[in-house]
């Protein structure tokens, strides 16, 4: 906020084209909700517990109290309307992580995150339903290392609702990539989580500067006609 109490992003929003919400063109994107780094009992959580570190305390608390329950509500709404749900995962294909780019390899190796491992699996609380797409990436942003763009365009889905972790990393990078490709992107604020609260809120503030929209779960469900 400015010293006059005026939202300093208002002038940016004035240049953003109004686009009508169309539930028939919407897709819910669930990002990286896997055991490796998205669950207290996964590799990252266990390591922090062994080290008696609270570095991820905020992260796992937010996942448990905000990200999971709000994503469940969104999944219920999208599924009830027969709308598309697409899951993104991150990890190597091979156990030796030879297919990982250099900046991701150590993370995959240290968290045993490769296809077929328990750590790579989507957490039980948010398991995909039959027929829902799961797209694996080896990069931070999904468009860089997958056929996500082709899939979404084939499905006729150009309005994306983003959830998952981490807000300021894989969620934000994928959302920005999507915006630059012409998608209408909405970050569902209370269904995303990061390790540091300030990074989460900073991402939400900055994303509204031309990239896209920020809405709550309640707001997203209401505008899509999926309110409970």
pLDDT band at 2 (very low <50, low <70, confident <90, very high): very low
Stretch 109-134: mean pLDDT: 98
What per-residue confidence (pLDDT) applies to 14? 76
Question: In this predicted model, what pLDDT tens digit does every residue of 44-78 receive, in sequence order?
Answer: 999 999 999 999 999 999 999 999 999 999 999 99
DSSP secondary structure string, 96-159? Answer: T-TTS-HHHHHHHHHTT-BTTSTTTSBPGGGPPPTT-EEEEESSSSGGGTSSHHHHHHHHT--E
Report phi then psi at 207, rounded to 5: -65, -30
Give me the domains of the chain, ranges plus CATH numbers: 24-223 (3.40.50.850)
**More confident site: 121 or 13:** 121
pLDDT of residue 7: 56
Give the pLDDT score at 1.
Answer: 35
The answer to whether 56 touches 195, Cβ cutoff 8 Å, is yes
State the Cα–Cα distance between residues 167 and 201, nearest whole angstrom: 9
Distance of alpha carbon 82 from its chain centroid, rounded? 20
Burial 77-87 (b: 16+ CB within 10 A, else e): bbeeeebbbbb
Asked if the model's pLDDT at residue 10 lies above 90, the reply is: no
| CA 120/CA 37 separation, integer angstroms | 9
Q: Is the peptide bond before 166 cis (omega within 30 degrees of 0)?
A: yes
Identify the pLDDT of residue 8. 60
Mean pLDDT of 139-161: 98
pLDDT digits (tens, 9 = 90+) for 187-224: 999 999 999 999 999 999 999 999 999 999 999 999 99
| Tokens at 207, concatenated | 């994303």
**Segment 159-169 mean pLDDT:** 98
**Mean pLDDT, all residues of the chain:** 95
Task: Note the pTM of the prediction, 2 decimals.
Answer: 0.94
For position 164, what pLDDT does the model report?
A: 98
Label residue 228 by pLDDT band (50, 70, 90).
confident
Confidence of residue 18 (pLDDT cuts 50, 70, 90): confident
**Amino acid 12: pLDDT:** 72
Is residue 3 pLDDT above 80, yes or no?
Answer: no
């Amino acid at each position: 906020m400015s010293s006059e109490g005026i939202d300093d992003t208002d002038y940016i929003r004035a240049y953003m084209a109004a686009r009508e919400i169309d539930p028939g063109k919407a897709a819910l994107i669930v990002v990286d909700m896997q055991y490796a780094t998205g669950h207290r009992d996964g590799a990252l959580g266990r390591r922090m517990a062994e080290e008696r570190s609270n570095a991820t305390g905020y992260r796992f608390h937010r996942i448990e109290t905000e990200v999971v329950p709000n994503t469940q509500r969104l999944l219920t709404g999208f599924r009830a309307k027969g709308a598309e749900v697409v899951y993104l995962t991150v990890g190597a294909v091979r156990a030796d992580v030879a297919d990982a780019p250099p900046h991701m390899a150590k993370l995959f190796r240290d968290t045993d995150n490769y296809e077929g491992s328990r750590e790579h699996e989507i957490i039980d609380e948010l398991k995909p339903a039959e027929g829902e797409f799961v797209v694996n990436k080896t990069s931070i942003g999904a468009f860089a290392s997958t056929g996500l763009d082709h899939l979404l365009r084939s499905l006729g889905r150009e309005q994306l609702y983003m959830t998952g972790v981490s807000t300021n990393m894989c969620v934000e990078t994928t959302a920005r990539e999507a915006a630059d490709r012409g998608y209408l992107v909405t970050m569902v604020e209370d269904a995303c989580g990061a390790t540091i609260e300030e990074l989460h809120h900073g991402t939400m503030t900055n994303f509204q500067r031309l990239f896209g929209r920020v809405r709550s779960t309640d707001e997203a469900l209401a505008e899509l006609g999926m309110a409970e």
